[in-house]
Amino acid sequence: MIDVSYYPGCSLEGTAKDYRESIETVCERVGIKLHELEDWNCCGATAAHSLSHKAAINLSARNLTIAEKAGMDLVIPCALCFNRMKAAEKVLLGPYRREYAYRFEGSIKIWDLLDFFCQDRVKAEIARRFKRPLKGLKPVCYYGCMANRPPTITDARNWENPTNMDELLSFLGAEVIDWPYKTDCCGASHVVARPDIVFNLVYKLFDMAERVGANCIVVSCQMCQANLDMYQDEISKKFNRDFYFPILYFTELVGMAIGEKQVNRWLTKHFVSAKPLIESVGLNL
């Protein structure tokens, strides 16, 4: 059993409940025990770092203090929460730490959930429960921005061309397709005030995914998932195309590979139905 602290973040309590369910179930199945941080608060997201550097750092720092007290490494699924927590870590271990209200000694490691899953010890647990290879799934891995950039904050090793998700999905037997837009931006929270920007960015992703012959897009960030999934119809119409890309969480693919029946329920919570794809490749449970 691997014990870790867990920071779900606000959207996993709401619009990304599907991601949360898949994370918590899959972790339990592969022997990861998630301990939700006591009384965690919002990281402040883009709003805080846009309007107050200081408040943004303090908001995340409060969570880090709680996590350090709990004494276990901290796992964060949301790429932006992860990024904000790492930014606070760097500040609290840097020369200006006295300007902030919280202390952090750096005694625990802050993990992006995907990266945590890509450890050999977790892969070994998955291998022990492996039921069937995900043959026929031809995903492109979409990593997005925040889990990797900037590397001075995230400590990512391959920020221009990350490969950990590609390796994990290949390990699950999926026929992963390489593509050049792994870490291109989806526009994130601009979708509220500037959907025009998001639609342009996401259209480019779909267009490239189609050109390289992918049949689905796999993500590890719920903001990427929402922007690619919820607006796929609208983007298809706007650009006069007929895109069909189920936008799947990597945890759902782990679930499929270990034969977890709840996968079906998680998939019905997406806007673009994965059912036609799953049935066409014979992966239905």
Q: Residue numbers of the site for other proteins (CB under 8 A)?
A: 10-11, 13-18, 39-42, 44-55, 58-59, 62, 96, 101, 145-146, 149-151, 153, 159, 184-185, 187-190, 192-194, 196-197, 200-201, 230, 234, 268-271
CA distance 75 to 86: 11
Decide: 147 and 80 in contact? Cβ < 8 Å: no
Decide: 228 and 257 in contact? Cβ < 8 Å: no
What tokens were used for 169?
Answer: 């999905």
Of the pair 96, 282, the CB lying nearest other proteins is at: 96
Side chain identity at 42, as an amino acid letter?
C
Helices marked H in the chain — which ranges? 17-29, 45-51, 53-70, 79-92, 113-117, 120-129, 151-154, 164-171, 190-193, 195-211, 222-229, 232-238, 250-257, 263-268, 275-280
- In the complex, least distance from residue 12 CB atom to other proteins, rounded to whole angstroms: 10
- In the complex, least distance from residue 103 CB atom to other proteins, rounded to whole angstroms: 15
- In the complex, least distance from residue 119 CB atom to other proteins, rounded to whole angstroms: 25
Of the pair 53, 131, the CB lying nearest other proteins is at: 53
Of the pair 44, 139, the CB lying nearest other proteins is at: 44
- In the complex, least distance from residue 234 CB atom to other proteins, rounded to whole angstroms: 7
The secondary structure element, H or E, covering residue 3 is strand 2-6
Of the pair 100, 130, the CB lying nearest other proteins is at: 100
Number of neighbours of residue 43 by Cβ within 10 angstroms: 27
Of the pair 95, 282, the CB lying nearest other proteins is at: 95
- In the complex, least distance from residue 37 CB atom to other proteins, rounded to whole angstroms: 10
